[in-house]
């Protein structure tokens, strides 16, 4: 039975996280599982910097973030029908984002003893981001982007930017905001170069962090 605090946040121990790491295995390919474990480790590192009291909950969200990644397009649409998910126009032409939407619902259904609203939200927004992203959601997004097995040029660049700046800047949240903008800039550029659809949530997320930075300068 799960234990929750007064704010309905689930309380998870390291033993809970170790158990969850085993439970998610059947949902993932071997390669995806290794990525997932790496995202978990990165989320824990970022959590120690930004949300030290939330490290285990961040680890849970990281372990669940790709829970439906291996489902093909047909299965993703079946999930949408099952959960009553209405796919927007941007998402319909960007099937790579389906797993974040369906994964949030599957994680909620299959792992109620390891999830709460914030953990599920981390899963939901780890691919596109959204307007008004929380620090928790940002950590899951960034952990997925910069985890150590990522070798794409953009991922390497963002990882280097973050770790080059975080140790020397007293304003840690400023570094997080600027890193998120950098990640979104590279994502948008890559989609433009490839002629891809830019999800509206991604544009909103980028603008949110830019505006937040300007407001903190005032």
> What is 9-217's CATH topology?
Hypothetical protein af1432 (1.10.3210)
What is the tens place of the pLDDT at every residue in 31-61?
Answer: 999 999 999 999 999 999 999 999 999 999 9
Query: For residues 120-140, b (16+ Cβ closer than 10 Å) or e, as one string?
Result: bbbbbbbbbbbeebebbbbbb
What is the tens place of the pLDDT at every residue in 81-129?
Answer: 999 998 887 787 788 899 999 999 999 999 999 999 999 999 999 999 9
Percent over 90 (pLDDT), the chain: 85
Q: Is the pTM higher than 0.85?
A: yes
Which residues are 10's β-sheet partners?
A: 4
């Amino acid at each position: 039975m799960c234990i929750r605090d007064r704010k309905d946040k689930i309380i998870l121990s390291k033993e809970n996280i170790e158990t969850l790491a085993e439970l998610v295995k059947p949902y993932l390919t071997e390669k995806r599982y290794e990525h997932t474990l790496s995202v978990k480790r990165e989320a824990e590192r970022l959590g120690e910097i930004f949300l030290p009291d939330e490290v285990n909950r961040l680890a849970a969200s990281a372990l669940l973030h790709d829970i439906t990644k291996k489902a093909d397009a047909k299965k993703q649409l079946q999930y949408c029908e099952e959960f009553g998910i209405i796919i927007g126009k941007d998402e319909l032409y960007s099937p790579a984002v389906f797993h974040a939407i369906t994964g949030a619902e599957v994680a909620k259904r299959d792992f109620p003893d390891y999830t709460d609203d914030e953990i599920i939200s981390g899963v939901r927004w780890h691919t596109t981001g959204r307007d008004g992203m929380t620090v928790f959601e940002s950590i899951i997004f960034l952990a997925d982007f910069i985890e150590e097995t990522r070798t794409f040029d953009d991922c390497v660049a963002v990882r280097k930017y973050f770790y080059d700046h975080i140790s020397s800047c007293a304003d840690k949240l400023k570094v997080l905001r600027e890193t998120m903008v950098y990640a979104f800039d590279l994502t948008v550029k890559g989609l433009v170069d490839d002629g891809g659809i830019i999800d509206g949530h991604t544009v909103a997320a980028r603008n949110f962090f830019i505006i937040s930075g300007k407001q903190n300068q005032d």
